Chain A
Amino acid sequence: MKVSFPLLRGVWFLSILLAAGSAQAVPSYARQTGQNCVACHAGGQFPELTPYGRMFKLTGYTIGQRTMPLSMMGVLNANKVKVNDPAEGKQQDGSPIFNTASLFIAGKISDNIGGFAQITYNNYDAQNSDSGKWTGHTGADNMDFRYADRLIDANRDLVYGVTLHNNPTVQDVWMSAPAWGPATVPGSTGSGGGLLPILADGLGQQVAGIGAYAYWNRTLYAELTGYRTGNGIFSFMTQGVNNDHGPQTILKGVNPYWRLALTHEWGAHNAMIGLSGLDVKIYPDPTDLSTPTDHYRDVGLDAQYQYLLDPHSLTAQASYIHEKQDLEANLAATNPADTIDSLRAKVSYVYHAKYGASLSYFDVHGSTNNNPDTATRGWTPEIFWTPLQYVRIGLQYTQFNRVNGLSSNTDGAGRSARDDNSLLLYVWGAF
């Protein structure tokens, strides 16, 4: 794929823009602590967290001194799908585009309260069905507000807190969590597509979650959170999201999520193994709340390993989610009870927090209403370069072995799975 001059000019401009700031021009959490990105982000690969980064988040983003809590990020990319849909235009034909930008309002509010709020402009939000023209739109993105405290002395260490957030698992501190998992590069197809369990996709910026958590002796983490529709008093967390995308998803009442994790650190290594579950009822038609609901029950098993000792950062995550769907209310369902199983795994290595590579695998399969097996599976290798701590340039290739359970004729019109293969070049900057 040829790298075009407009994209190179974009890279140059972004680097000049970022370099023009002072030496302290780093995202707002870094300004709060005064530390480099690598202190909290493994190998400098935002957003993945180091053990210290996890403690920063669990203690309510309150380490350090209050500062101007604003920062921004932007992504330029060029994405080429092997057999692209001309109607999708620049999002699939390899043209360099300005994809997305976000404003972060994030930081310490008081000694116990802190937050993370992201507002995102998506340059390719909706497409006019007549003219084919894309329009951009701004809306709420991930948000997490916390009250936390820590009881620590020579004999015990208990971190505890409450969180208000708008995306299941955004409050989690391990990268195996679906909200932070393999597809975190904006514009990435690293998750491969395919229908995912509700824990992994579908409720982001539709819901409000209020939860309580505790982390004991840096060994055992436990959390219980309730999710409800993000409307009424909570609508500030779902603003602008449903424009042109249909009405807000409506949940019935408060729906429980639980999470346990066991962690251990030894030498330069640390590891986690965890379990989670979500039980949620969703109205199939958000405009008619008199009908029965669709019932989703998810159970997840996840794990993470990190080796962090300069110049090496080696990290790995795996997440397996099993979902049982009871689509009671779906009158068109020929098979009202369905399952989805999603496996995602990733390993990455970064040298000197500058030169990195990762490989991730996705496999989403299960029964659905029409197909006996809807497996979508494939691999995403990636190489990236972080020339400055707040700019990352990467090349990512997603290879599909199967789409909708098939390797060939996946759409009934002769498309093969590998026609979805895509190559993504991105420049991701934050300041």
Chain B
Amino acid sequence: MKTATIALILAIAAIGTGCSTTNERSRNLADPSVSGKTLALQVCSNCHGVDGNSVNPTFPKLAGQPVEYFLVEMKEFRNHHRADPAGFEYMWGLSRSLTDRQLDELAGYYVQQKLVADKPTDAGREAAGKNIFDRGVPAKNIPPCMACHGAEGTGNGKFPRIAGQHADYLAKQLTVFKRTDERPEGALMETIAHDLTSEDIENISAYLASHSPK
């Protein structure tokens, strides 16, 4: 019986290691031959949603993100420069073996997805947030967000799409920029967020989360 048990284990091991799923359904993050789209479906979707619209605000929506911004952030995770807590807890490990080609494919996948904004929650906050988005805070020399992120907050090149993003995620990242050096690629945002108050951050986040570009 012991021989039979050993034989069974060896047979299963041989079958298991020999046969692998087609690359079309691989969850292997260290195989350069697996396409970015396959990884987006099999792995990334667990947190970010199949279409890049995540459910839990811990994970940002990736749908519609500009390619250049997406690549900068993924490479910042891969080289351990971006170190905000949710970033290093979840993303350092997942990105560590991805190739540049896979990152290009992931970026290409997500930029095509349609971002779905959240429902409005607080009209007062949203109005105050829209005011900062459109006009900035002139008294503190804080420029309007739209100057870089676009009139509708859809982003461009190095500047992320922020319209429709989870309010909690936006607020936490603005706080990271305001208080820490954990996102060195966002040095520009450190200057801008430095003088934003907590109220300002809540208001901007509330406005953007429910804003669906025309």
Contacts and interface: CB of A to CB of B under 8 A. Distances in A.
B46 A55 contact: yes
A152 to B, nearest CB: 5
A152 B96 contact: no
A310 B1 contact: no
A36 B26 contact: no
A149 B85 CA distance: 31
Interface string A68-86: 0000000000000000000
Contacts, number: 117
Contact of B57 (A66, A152, A309): A309
B43 interface: yes
Interface stretch (A56-64, A134-142, A415-423): A56-64
Given A34-B96, A65-B29, A110 B19 contact: yes
B190 interface: no
Given A63-B27, A268-B56, A309-B58, A111 B20 contact: yes
Interface in A293-312: 308-310
A247 B193 CA distance: 68
B58 to A, nearest CB: 6
Nearest to B18: A110
B41 A152 contact: yes
Given A65-B97, A109-B17, A266 B27 contact: no
A308 B58 contact: yes
B17 A110 contact: yes
A112 interface: yes
Nearest to B24: A151
Contacts of B29: 33, 63-65
B30 A309 contact: no
A110 B85 contact: no
A119 to B, nearest CB: 15
A267 B56 contact: yes
Given A65-B97, A111-B26, A236 B58 contact: no
B43 A109 contact: no
A157 B50 contact: yes
A154 B50 contact: yes
A268 B50 CA distance: 17
A265 B1 contact: no
A306 to B, nearest CB: 10
Interface of A is mostly: mixed
Contacts of B94: 33-35, 64
Nearest to A56: B46
A236 B58 CA distance: 41
B184 interface: no
Contacts of B43: 63
B4 interface: yes
A265 B50 CA distance: 14
A152 B42 contact: yes
Nearest to A31: B93
Interface of B: 1, 4-5, 8-9, 12-13, 16-17, 19-21, 25-31, 41-43, 45-47, 50-51, 55-58, 85-86, 88-90, 92-94, 96-97, 168, 172
26 contacts: A33-B93, A33-B94, A34-B92, A34-B94, A36-B89, A36-B90, A39-B89, A51-B46, A52-B47, A63-B29, A110-B16, A110-B21, A111-B21, A111-B26, A149-B21, A152-B50, A154-B51, A232-B5, A233-B1, A233-B5, A234-B5, A235-B1, A267-B55, A267-B56, A268-B168, A309-B168
Given A39-B89, A65-B97, A267-B56, 14 more contacts: A34-B96, A35-B93, A51-B46, A56-B46, A63-B27, A63-B29, A64-B30, A65-B30, A111-B25, A112-B20, A113-B16, A151-B25, A233-B1, A310-B172
